[in-house]
Amino acid sequence: MVDVKLENIVKTFDGTTALKGISLHIKHKELFTLLGPSGCGKSTTLRIIAGLDYPDSGHIYFGDEEVTYLPSYQRGAVLVFQNYALWPHMTVFDNVAYGLKIRKVPKEEIKRKVEWALELVKLKGFENRYPTQLSGGQQQRVAIARALVVEPKVLLLDEPLSNLDAKLRLEMRSEIRRIQRELGITVIYVTHDQEEAMAISDRIAVMNVGTVEQVGTPRDIYERPKTEFVASFMGKTNVIPAKVVERNGDKVTVEFESFRLDGLHYTEKSDNVVLVIRPERIKFRPGENTVSLEGTVDLIEYYGFFTEVVGLFGETRIIARAISDKEIANLRPTQPVTFYIDRDDIIVLPKQNL
Amino acid sequence: MKVSKWSERLFGTPLPDPVVITSFLFPLLYLVAFLVIPVIVMLGTAFEYNGHLSLYWFRSIFGSSYYFNPHPSDYLVKTIEYGGKEVYHFYGWDFGVVLNSILVSISVMILTTLLGTFFAFIMARYDFPGKNIMRVLLFIPLLVTPFVNVVVVKKMFLPDGIINWIFYEHLHLFPKPIWIDGLVGVIIAQTITYYPIVYLNAYASFINIDPSLEEQAENLGSRGFHLFRTVTLPLALPGIASGAILVGIFSLEDLAAPIVFQGSAIAKKLMSYQIYSSFVSGFAVGNPQMAALALIMLTIALIMFLAVRWYVGLRQYAMLSKGGRWKPRVAKPKWWQALIIAFVAVPLLLITIFPQIGVVLLAFSKTWYGTWPSGFTLENMKAIVTQPDIEHVILNSVLYSTAAIVIIILLSLTASYASSRFKKAKLAPILDSLATIPIAVPGIVIAMSYFFFFSTVPPFKGSILDPTNLLYFFPGAALILAYSIRRLPFAARSISAGLQQVHVSLEEAAMNLGAGRWKALTSILLPLISLNLLGGAMLSFVYCMSETSVGITLGSINSTWYPITAKMRELIIGAVGSANLAAALGVFLMLVQITAIVIANIITKQRYSFIGLT
Ligand SMILES: Nc1ncnc2c1ncn2[C@@H]1O[C@H](COP(=O)(O)OP(=O)(O)OP(=O)(O)O)[C@@H](O)[C@H]1O
Ligand SMILES: [Mg+2]
């Protein structure tokens, strides 16, 4: 059982606080993703788990064992570096065999295990090449094989796909998922691509300047964002500033521009809120529990498998996404339009200073 | 392992790791023990008079017109009689020892800057027939041939020397023959010896300027000399300045030129020579006035060194913007520029490579009176392999230099590992400065410090390092220490350049996979920087073999243990005809250097530019 626990990790670099007290609990055999914009502290978190940096305060546990200051080479949390860090003076075989040699594994077994690892990443036959003779995707797979072959307690992947082209990225994404399932290991994955995070993860932690904003399953995070930051980070969405004007138990009425929307779920204190509405949730026909917004069509953009209608409501632009052309066949720019939104699809969140 | 705050502060890692601690402490303690403490202890004697703390010795220097003479005596140039003919005798004003040294150093800096920048600009910016030949010829003045090149310079500028033979007798460009002597002789000899340092630094700067910067200026209407003055020169200035300062320091501590020109009294009135001569006559040791003089000399060198580091550090950002590679701007020279190249650059180049050619001529001839050497002979060169005392000094030098480079490699490896991988450590900047500071410490100061320190302070007193211990003193030990300190900066530079090219993540990946720090170092880092190690080793070997100041002082105490340079000094001030033998040793040293540089260039596929500051 290797679950990884971080408790209140703080890390400062020359005066700037990179991590402001992070706590996470990553379960055994889980593929856990750290997601967040550039500079939010993802790599720092990963390096601290790997033992390549030490936190200023806080604790790290692998299972019940505290490993906060255990040197990297005794920790067994193996990192696949963003730049792969393959050793240019060693062949693919020697790169992969390195960790085994350190562990004094007998020669025969090293051979067997390296073969197994290279097969796993589909690189059999490349043993004698040098890293410079490989493509980016192949190098990345060598880096993964090098980490896997030592049977790490935890595999740490730092933006492993960021240097690959789109097609290879999709391929490698499912490869990583397959390998993780096959070997049943705990994987912590870092990315700033929300789509990648959604596709690959069991759970996601969304990070923002040194803090964790939300932890949850991809569906949770996409559909029930807990903060404005998470909502706006998870794909194209409408974030509309509004004011709470009336409260009634856990229901509120909010106002933006000249519109009043009632019966929305909201329990937080702040009256300054944002309304988060996913474009694909907006309909052009009334439903049972819908609110309606009347405005004019500003723009219609055709994307192939869907079409976006940008409506203008006072000064506010709201994007709706239509899958079938029928619904919107009559819409023309500058003509009036009504958006219908189910009350359950309007997420009211306190306004953040982003 | 336990976390420790002091380890984090001192060494930049919270876990006190023996490899990291050794990497900091070994070079640090070595430099403190064999550079900082000996120099400070020796210099300390300058502040003592009759058992009291006092500035007496400094007052005695600045109060005596021998040392400090703001109203100069003697002359710069004067017509005198020589062998029945009138000649212009270039000699030099005598401002006293301290000011003379400073003025010589400044003059040499100015002349080498002009000469070096001039050649660098031509080579970096113009394309002309014969440019490749010129490139190879420019390599020649770089070859270090202690003493004997100055001997040749002196001969060139005698009234019946080659310069007058060409420019007075044949071209009639001078109204009277010239005779360059005294301090002017020292300045000319040092200029010819050291200008390649400025050339290399300036050349590197010119070809590293982003062409778009000049193109933009041109685009805005700046042309010709205006463009050079407003854009090109300011951008190249940090490089040129660091070359010039290095030359200034070398000039200040140079002993070869004053020793060769010591026939004229004024050439001896330089700080380096004063300390040297009192050293060989036995008066320097424990002589507080010489310690005071050494302190003055060291202070000047340090000020120059720190000033240029500060200045170059300020301007480094300008160079950061550059990015990728580009084709440097080279143009065909206009007609008048072609004339300058043909009638100024080429003759100047030929004059400045003549010392090395002259050394070869001297080595293959019996005598050299007047214009040309005479009596071809192979005897001098043969002596290298047949004459026991010559063979002997070569073996000694090879032994000392080899031992020194082992230490140098260990020092530069540990020092650059520590200060590049643990930048946050409080000790890192200290180590970094200490490893480069030997550039600014004159060799003669180190020699004097060692003599005093090792002969007075236990446990060295009475050991093989104690020069006054006639029975057991082994000069080789002192020389190896001195070489390892003096040549450290050059190897450290090459090795830390290598370390910077290896991304830290390569070591981290190894440690993350279970390798301890030591294992990561030996299996990953060392193989990856092996070429830089080799380059650094070659470079230090060459410079150890030709080390002069300590070699002719501490190394001259016992002839059994002479290094090459001690023998060369003995030969050139000794009997008639023995300079030819010294020249043969010079040829030998040139061959060693050419071999080392060729090997280094072939194996590392990098251009080793020998020498540089920063
Ligand atoms: N060694 C360091 N020295 C100083 N500051 C650092 C160092 N490493 C990280 N930082 C700072 O800490 C913050 C977090 O950096 P980190 O590398 O963890 O971000 P990241 O989320 O991985 O970003 P990216 O997506 O760009 O890789 C940044 O502000 C960064 O500048
Ligand atoms: Mg990162």
pLDDT band at A244 (very low <50, low <70, confident <90, very high): very high
Distance CA A219, CA A202 (A): 10
A-to-B residue pairs, Cβ atoms closer than 8 angstroms: 71
Distance CA A38, CA B430 (A): 34
B221 vs B95: which has the higher pLDDT? B95
The answer to whether residue B193 scores a pLDDT higher than 50 is yes
Please list, in sequence order, all residues whose beta carbon lies within 8 angstroms of the beta carbon of residue B421, skipping any fewer than 6 positions away: B499, B504, B507
Nearest ligand 1 atom to alpha carbon A46:
18
Task: Name the band, by pLDDT with cuts 50, 70 and 90, for residue B605.
Answer: low
DSSP assignment of B168-217:
IIIS--SSS-EEE-HHHHHHHHHHHHHHHHHHHHHHHHHHTS-HHHHHHH
Q: Is the peptide bond before B258 cis (omega within 30 degrees of 0)?
A: no
- Residue from A50, A113, A190, A92 nearest A176 by CA: A190
Residues A118 and A163 in one domain: yes
What local confidence, expressed as pLDDT, does residue A118 receive? 93
Give the mean pLDDT of A204-226.
92
Mean pLDDT of A283-307: 88
Interface contact flag, A146 B523, Cβ < 8 Å: no
Domain end (from A206, A230, A254): A230
In this predicted structure, the answer to whether residue B317 has a pLDDT above a threshold of 60 is no
Whether B321 has a pLDDT exceeding 50, the answer reads no
User: Is residue A199's pLDDT more than 60?
Assistant: yes
B513, B521, B523, B532: which to substitute to probe chain A, counting the most A Cβ within 10 Å? B513
Does the beta-carbon distance from B14 to A78 stay under 8 Å?
no
Mean pLDDT of A266-292: 90
- The finding on whether A18 has its CB within 6 A of some atom of ligand 1 is yes
Residue B612 pLDDT exceeds 60: no
Whether A92 and A222 share a structural domain: yes
**Strand ranges for B440-595 from DSSP E:** none
Chain A interface mutation, best of B426, B512, B523, highest count of A Cβ atoms under 10 Å: B512
Ligand 1 pocket, residue A44 CB under 6 Å:
yes
Give the tokens for residue B190.
Answer: 């040092």
Return the ligand number nearest the Cα of A44: 1
Our CA angle for B130, B329, B310, nearest 5°, is 105
> Which whole number is the average pLDDT over A183-192?
91
**How near does any CA of chain B get to the CA of A14, in Å?**
9
Examine the domain organization and report whether A88 and A169 are in the same domain.
Answer: yes
B404-462 pLDDT per residue, tens: 999 999 999 999 999 888 888 889 999 988 998 998 999 999 999 998 899 888 888 87
Q: Grade residue B63 by pLDDT with cuts at 50, 70 and 90.
A: confident
- pLDDT value of residue B300: 95
Q: What are phi and psi of B460, to 5 degrees?
A: -75, -35
Whether A217 and A254 map to the same domain: the answer is no
Note whether A224 and A271 are same-domain residues. no
Q: Is the pLDDT of residue B231 over 80?
A: no
pLDDT over 90, % of chain B:
36
Q: Ligand 1, residue A47: give the atom nearest the CA.
A: 18
- Which among B57, B64, B55, B58 is positioned nearest to B94, based on CA atoms? B64
- Structure confidence at residue B328 (pLDDT): 64
Q: What is the A93 CA–ligand 2 centroid distance (Å)? A: 28
Strands A290-302 and A307-313: antiparallel
Structure tokens belonging to residue B301: 């060198």
Q: In this structure, what token pair is assigned to residue B240?
A: 């040129």
Query: Among candidates B433, B403, B370, B363, which has minimal Cα distance to B582?
Result: B363
Sheet strands (E) in A217-289: 238-248, 251-256, 259-265, 272-277, 282-283
Same-domain pairing of A155 and A252: no
Residues A213 and A313 in one domain: no
pLDDT confidence tier of residue B319, bands split at 50, 70 and 90 = very low
A19 and A79 fall within a common domain: yes
- Quote the ligand 2 centre to A41 CA distance (angstroms): 7
Residue A120 is part of a domain; what is its CATH number?
A: 3.40.50.300
Q: Do A87 and B524 count as a contact with CB atoms less than 8 A apart?
A: yes
Residue B137 has pLDDT above 70, yes or no: yes
Cα B304 to ligand 1 centroid, rounded to whole Å? 39
* Bigger pLDDT: B186 vs B492: B186
Ligand 1 pocket mutation, candidates A40, A192, A193, criterion most atoms within 8 A of CB: A40
Which range has the top average pLDDT, B7-16, B80-89, B134-143, B265-274?
A: B265-274
Tens digits of residue pLDDT in B338-360 = 888 888 999 999 999 999 999 99
Give, in order, the Cα–Cα distances in Å from B398 to each of B86, B568, B571: 48, 15, 19
Comparing B382 with A155, which gets the higher pLDDT?
A155
A66: contact with B, CB 8 A cutoff: no
Do B513 and A99 count as a contact with CB atoms less than 8 A apart?
yes
User: pLDDT at position A126, please?
Assistant: 94
Q: How far is residue B104 from each of residues B96, B178, B186, B243, B254, measured CA to CA in Å? A: 12, 20, 8, 17, 11
**Residues in contact with A298: Cβ distance below 8 Å, sequence separation at least 6, in sequence order:** A310, A311, A312, A317, A333
Q: Which of the listed residues A230, A257, A288 is the one where a domain comes to its end?
A: A230
pLDDT tier, B532 (very low <50, low <70, confident <90, very high otherwise): confident
Q: Which of A13, A46, A72, A151 to mutate to test the interface with B (most CBs of B within 10 A)?
A: A72
Structure tokens at A93: 């075989």
Mean pLDDT of A214-219: 94
Residue A117 to chain B, least CA–CA distance (Å): 15
Number of residues that make up chain A: 354
Domain that holds residue A22: 4-230
The more confidently predicted of residues B382 and B23 is B23
Element (H, E) at A204: strand A203-208
**Digit-coded pLDDT (tens) for B557-599:** 888 889 999 999 988 887 666 888 899 999 999 999 888 888 8
Higher pLDDT among residues B225 and A85, named by residue: A85
DSSP secondary structure string for all residues of A81-127: -TT----TTS-HHHHHHHHHHHTT--HHHHHHHHHHHHHHTT-TT-T
Average pLDDT over residues B64-77: 87
Cross-chain Cβ contact B15/A54 below 8 Å: yes
Distance from CA of B487 to the nearest CA of A (A): 30
All domains of chain B in start order, with CATH: 2-49+382-573 (1.10.3720.10), 73-315+333-377 (1.10.3720.10)
Q: Which residues of B touch A76 (CB under 8 A)?
A: 514
Nearest CA to ligand 1 atom 26: A38
Of the candidates B3, B506, B514, which has its C-beta nearest A85's C-beta?
A: B506
Indicate the average pLDDT of chain A. Answer: 90
Report the residue among A11, A16, A19, A43 best suited for mutation to probe ligand 1: largest number of ligand atoms under 8 A from its CB. A43
Tell me whether A12 touches chain B (CB under 8 Å): no
Q: Is A210 in the pocket of ligand 1 (CB under 6 A)?
A: no
pLDDT of residue B39 exceeding 70, the answer is yes
Out of A200, A230, A260, a domain closes at A230
Q: Within this chain, do residues A225 and A319 fall inside the same structural domain, yes or no?
A: no
Tens of pLDDT, residues A150-170: 888 899 999 888 777 788 788
Residue A289: give its domain's CATH number: 2.40.50.140
Cα of A45 vs centre of ligand 1, distance in Å, is: 10
Which chain B residue shows the shortest CA-CA distance from A14? B424
Kindly tell me if the per-residue pLDDT of B318 is higher than 50: no
Q: State which ligand 1 atom lies nearest to the alpha carbon of A44.
A: 18
- Asked if A55 and A107 sit in the same domain, the reply is yes
Rg (CA), chain B: 25
- Please state, in angstroms and as integers, the Cα–Cα distance from residue B420 to each residue in A302, B20, B173, following that order: 54, 12, 56
Number of structural domains, chain A? 2
Average confidence score pLDDT of chain B? 86
Same domain, A134 and A245: no
The whole-number pLDDT of residue B576 equals 63
CA of A210 to the centre of ligand 1 (A): 10
Q: In this structure, are A226 and A252 located in the same domain?
A: no
pLDDT at B322 over 70: no
Interface probe for B, chosen from A73, A84, A86, A150 (most Cβ of B below 10 Å), is A73
